[in-house]
Amino acid sequence: MSTSLLYHAFGIVGYHYCSLHCREGKVFFRIEQPRDRLCCPQCLSEDVWVRGHEERTFRVVPIGAKPTFVILDVARVWCPVCDTVRQVKIGFADAKKRYTRAFERYVLELSRHMTIQDVARHLQVSWDTIKDIQARNLHHRFGKPKLHKLKEIAIDEIAVGKGQRYLTIVLNLRSGAVVFVGEGKGGDALDNFWKRLRRSRAKVQAVATDLAAAYRRAVREHLPQAVHVFDHFHVIKLFNEKLSTLRRDLYHQAQSAEEQALLKGTRWLLLKNPENLDAGRNEAQRLAEALRLNEPLATAYYLKEDLRQIWSQPNKRTARRVLRDWIARARASEIRILVQFADTLEEHQEGILNYYHHRISTGPLEGTNNKIQLMKRQAYGFRDREFFKLKILGLHETKHALVG
């Protein structure tokens, strides 16, 4: 075996091949470092004295399905220039690692197509070894995202486990990259983000959030010059929750079993958009029958359809007129739940109408959340919380698919 093959196959240069032996289905190459290549690891002086060796074994790229290793007697040298005694540096592996850089690159390449567990099984190494390689790569590439170019961001929390466990995500809406992952939810979860944002001197122009009071206070305090846009998906979601509550109340107030049965089967029909109703299952007919027999439910349903029109107007002035008309109609219905929602819209109308200054939303965060859930299923959960956050920061450059 030529020494040049060490470089082309395993990325090892500056060492000589000595011997090869196989044991227990594994391949071992013994190599050595020439005496004239030894130098002080601290001052790089070549005038050194050898003070013994220590045998070390490194994992390299496998040959076929066989695990492959290189064995090297690492020299310990004394340098008369700086008067230190230390082991020489390994040219093909990082300090305190038992695998080569070529092996690390091979793991990262496999990780683009396989789960952590699959890579570990294929290479016959531990799950933690693969995780450690991925974590180092992710930390190097995404550990400290650059914030100075941020212009439009979205903020929202996502559920990551049972027991009310949340993470707060900040997304760069122009690049689609997650730039911050905070522990918990609410304004406190963003404290570190605001500190980094001030240091970066970013000129954020617009922020999209839901209607939570904690986010309103945080944006008003830390980004007073930015346009705060209340996400229209969350507004519609909030109304859908009110609509479900109204249907449930009407169900309990129904005076006959027939009316109860009709209302019980319309929950998802009420939440669907009219164009999505299934004609083959007579969903439109069932919905129309329920609305005909129940005036409060019909009023709320048609208001739900009109609510979406607020964000499809040609300009902000027209949208304001549509919004005020909607609020007036909701109050005129004298239905308690609708009146309460009208008050909520009136309180937040400026943030809602800011959509016409910056047409942004937290919608892209929903796609990020779906990727996170898929990532969790692939890895059967993440024991290392910091590693999990790094994976989220690198999601924009990752393509996920369920693999078996």
Q: What is the CATH number of the domain that holds 376?
A: 3.30.420.10
How far is Cα 130 from Cα 159, in angstroms, rounded to an integer? 26
Q: Is the pLDDT of residue 336 over 60?
A: yes
Residue 47, CB half-sphere, CA atoms under 13 Å: how many? 4
User: How many angstroms separate the Cα of 148 from the Cα of each of 2, 228, 351?
Assistant: 50, 19, 25
Is 128 contained in some domain?
Answer: no
- Mean pLDDT score, 267-279: 55
Minimum mean pLDDT range among 225-229, 244-248, 300-304, 376-380:
376-380
pLDDT at res. 83: 85
pLDDT at res. 244: 79
- Mean pLDDT score, 292-303: 69
Residues 256 and 306 in one domain: yes
Is 37 contained in some domain?
Answer: yes
Residues 296 and 335 in one domain: yes
Q: Is the pLDDT of residue 358 over 90?
A: yes
Minimum mean pLDDT range among 34-48, 167-181, 242-256:
242-256
pLDDT at res. 228: 96
Q: Which residues contact 61 (CB under 8 A, 6 or more apart)?
A: 9, 10, 68, 100, 102, 103, 106
Of all residues in the chain, what percent carry a pLDDT higher than 70? Answer: 83
- Mean pLDDT score, 44-71: 90
Summarize the chain as % helix, strand, coil (round to 5): 50, 20, 30
pLDDT at res. 294: 61
Residue that is last in its domain, among 57, 76, 109: 109
Q: Is the pLDDT of residue 360 over 90?
A: yes
**Rg of the chain taking only CA atoms, in angstroms:** 31
Q: Is the pLDDT of residue 382 over 80?
A: no
- pLDDT band at residue 217 under the 50/70/90 scheme: very high
- Mean pLDDT score, 181-207: 92
Q: Is the pLDDT of residue 266 over 70?
A: no
Q: How many domains does one find in the chain?
A: 3
Residue of 72, 59, 70, 71 whose CA lies nearest to 125: 59
Q: What tens digit of pLDDT does each residue of 12-25 get?
A: 888 998 899 999 89
How far is Cα 321 from Cα 329, in angstroms, rounded to an integer? 12
pLDDT at res. 303: 82
Q: What tens digit of pLDDT does each residue of 222-260 get?
A: 999 999 999 999 998 898 888 778 777 766 665 555 555
Residues spanned by the domain of 92? 3-109
Is 263 contained in some domain?
Answer: yes
Is 117 contained in some domain?
Answer: no
Residues 87 and 183 in one domain: no
- Mean pLDDT score, 284-294: 56
- Mean pLDDT score, 157-175: 84
Residues 237 and 219 in one domain: no
Is 141 contained in some domain?
Answer: no
How far is Cα 103 from Cα 109, in angstroms, rounded to an integer? 10
Is 209 contained in some domain?
Answer: yes
Is 125 contained in some domain?
Answer: no
pLDDT at res. 276: 59
pLDDT at res. 256: 58
- Mean pLDDT score, 87-107: 91
Is 289 contained in some domain?
Answer: yes
Q: Do residues 93 and 99 make contact, with C-beta atoms less than 8 angstroms apart? A: yes
Residues 93 and 52 in one domain: yes
- Mean pLDDT score, 94-119: 90
Q: What pTM was computed for the model?
A: 0.76
Mean pLDDT of the chain: 84
- Separation of first and last alpha carbons in the chain: 38
Q: Is the pLDDT of residue 37 over 90?
A: no
Q: What tens digit of pLDDT does each residue of 307-324 get?
A: 989 999 999 999 999 999
Residues 208 and 239 in one domain: no
Residue that is last in its domain, among 56, 91, 109: 109
Residues 239 and 189 in one domain: no
Of all residues in the chain, what percent carry a pLDDT higher than 90? Answer: 42
Residues 76 and 20 in one domain: yes
pLDDT at res. 203: 93
156 sits in which H/E element: strand 152-161
Residues 262 and 198 in one domain: no
- pLDDT band at residue 274 under the 50/70/90 scheme: low
Minimum mean pLDDT range among 195-204, 209-218, 374-383:
374-383
Q: Is the pLDDT of residue 342 over 70?
A: yes
pLDDT at res. 404: 39
pLDDT at res. 284: 62
Q: Is the pLDDT of residue 267 over 50?
A: no
